[in-house]
Amino acid sequence: MSDAYAKLLDKLRDIGKLDALDALLEWDQDVMMPPKGITAHAECVAFVASERHKLRTSPEMGELLEQLNDADNDPVRATNVREARRKYKRAVKVPAELISEIARTASKGRDIWAAARKANDYAKFSPTLGKLIKLKREQAQAIGFKEHPYDALMDEYEPGATTKDVGVVFDELRRQLVPLVRALADAPNQPDVSILHRSYPRPGQEKLCRKLAEDLGFDFDAGRLDVTVHPFCTSIGGGGDVRVTTRYDEQFFPPAIFGLMHEVGHGLYEQGLEPEHVFTPMGMYCSLGIHESQSRLWENMVGRSKAFWQTRYALAQEMLGASLAGVSLDAFHAAINHVAPSLIRVEADEVTYGLHIILRFEMERDILSGKLEVDDVPEAWNAKMTELVGVTPPNDAQGCMQDVHWSMGAFGYFPTYALGNLYAAQFLAAAKRDIPDLVDRIAAGDTRTLLDWLRRNVHRHGMRYQANELCREATGESLSVAPFMQYLETKFKPIYGLA
């Protein structure tokens, strides 16, 4: 190992430790922090962001990168140098004061958003949102872009993605999703979803969540499960400390059960990263689109499959109480796969979910370009919901204020959700080709075989490849809408009597 590379690793690990501290502060704010702690908490968040920015943009970092070659024959060294260079080039363009102000405003913004959403008062949130939009526009201008300011922000979450390319994919997704949603709405078989809206005491939901997490392979010696308003997963510096959250509704169990499987999917990815590379790019996830592919795969493509519940439905009936007594597995499977236009993204079904993301992508694209201003957001949101999803929000709490992301300044994040669906379907199709009896194994209670395939083909690579390169490496093909649409039609048409 060269002296320059050894020094670079030391710096990358220090940056990684600050990333871990930032994640810990985020977890604390959503799970443990008392309300009056927000002011000091925001200053801590801003301090960590500032120190990380200083490290990432230091003259010594620049000097080290000048001495190193990211075309190294060793893939680990090449990955670490390439990613350090990419992040250095982005970060060095942004003033430290701007980074601190974004972090400080976002930390306070989350609490302001939560209170405004609870009160259904967009006017309470709009000044903060307006400030964050201004700051993110400044950040995009500082970073620079070839065609659209949104490119600069999206690159933080999905390296290499562009507004133009994502728009092409989403246009094709929209073209195929809309007629499928209409066909299912008019189908002869409509699931009885009333069985989901019964009494499901929280203790039983908690037991089932814990058991399902363990069944999927989540290591509780390297993780924990907590409760929060908006479920999430975070890693405190690698796979040795992965924290997932969910939420409980005693009259409607899907948010807890499937929200848990979604976050555990994220957690399995974090726990599958190679520990020897912790705090360096080779020990970090490839992109948020790939990260989302893991959560959507386990939540929906496995967790809502009939095969998965074949050996677990009796346990669900036992733990969730009398409300599922007499409900057949077929009826349960149909109910948890009900398709219907809905207001809330996190509760949307697999088929309409992509339309919720397309809406957010188009809104953010217009916000960053200046085409859409903060005062016009509620009206524009409602119009797009009516056009794309077919429902109109009755208020802003169920409309433009339903998601936490904008209050965090996370513009450019939303597209990764729909890209994740596409990657997930492509990964699952490849796994089935490699393991012909995979569905039978899942029906017999074995999910470890699929997890092992993902560990070999996705998790262990860290940031060695960009997302589409990883997709080609794992599946042999570039990202396509086709596997996802084939998955949807194969699954949903029989349920709805259209097969």
Q: What amino acid positions are annotated as catalytic residues?
A: 263
Instruction: Kindly give, in sequence order, each residue whose CB lies less than 8 Å from that of residue 85, ignoring residues fewer than 6 positions away.
Output: 65, 70
Gyration radius of the chain's alpha carbons: 22
Q: In what order do the strands lie in the sheet with 223-227?
A: 223-227, 242-246, 233-235
Contact 51, 43 (CB under 8 A): no
Q: Token pair 């680990």 is at which residue?
A: 76
Q: Tell which residue, 245, 200, 237, has the closest CA to residue 218.
A: 245
Main-chain dihedrals φ then ψ at residue 466, nearest 5 degrees: -75, 170
Main-chain dihedrals φ then ψ at residue 340, nearest 5 degrees: -165, 140
CA angle 156, 157, 161 (to 5 degrees): 85
Distance in angstroms (rounded) separating the CA atoms of residues 279 and 269:
15
Contact 50, 96 (CB under 8 A): yes
Task: Report the sign of the C-alpha dihedral through residues 18, 22, 27, 28, in that order.
Answer: positive
The number of beta carbons lying within 10 Å of the beta carbon of residue 302 is 21
Residue 57: C-alpha distances to residues 71, 282, 366 (Å):
22, 20, 30
Q: What DSSP character marks residue 162?
A: -
Q: Tell which residue, 332, 325, 324, 327, has the closest CA to residue 306.
A: 332
Tokens of 182: 């209409």
Q: What DSSP character marks residue 470?
A: H
Contact 183, 498 (CB under 8 A): yes
* Rounded (10°) CA dihedral 476, 361, 113, 43: 60
Upper half-sphere CA count for residue 418 (Cβ side, 13 Å): 29
Distance in angstroms (rounded) separating the CA atoms of residues 63 and 132:
33
Adjacent-strand bridge partners of 246: 227
Q: What DSSP character marks residue 74?
A: S
Count of all residues that appear for the chain in the document: 499
Contact 181, 489 (CB under 8 A): no
